[in-house]
Amino acid sequence: MSKSLYLPEGYKASLSLRETQHAIKYIKDVFQQALSFAVTLDRVSAPLIVTTESGINDDLNGVERKVGFDIKEIGGKDAEVVQSLAKWKRMALYRYGYRPGEGIYTDMNAIRRDDDTDNTHSIFVDQWDWEKVITKEERTVEYLKETVKAIVKAVAYTKRKVSLRYPQLKSQINDTPFFITTQELENMYPDKTAKERERLITKEHGTVFIMQIGGKLASGEKHDGRAPDYDDWSLNGDILVWDEVLDNALEISSMGIRVDETSLKKQLAECGAEDRMKFPYHRMIADGTLPLTIGGGIGQSRLCMLLLEKAHIGEVQSSIWPEEMTKKCAEHGITLL
By annotation, the residues acting in catalysis are 58, 112, 127, 238, 251, 254
CA distances from 87 to 102, 274, 293, 296, 301 (A): 17, 17, 11, 11, 22
DSSP conformation letters of 15-49 = S-HHHHHHHHHHHHHHHHHHHHHHHTEEE----SE
Phi and psi at 204, nearest 5°, equal -70, -40
C-alpha span between 11 and 18 (Å, rounded): 18
Residue 217: phi and psi, rounded to 5, are: -90, 180
Beta bridge partners of 199: none
Of 151, 169, 168, give the one whose Cα is nearest residue 159: 169
CB burial class (10 A; 0-12, 13-18, 19+) of residue 159? buried
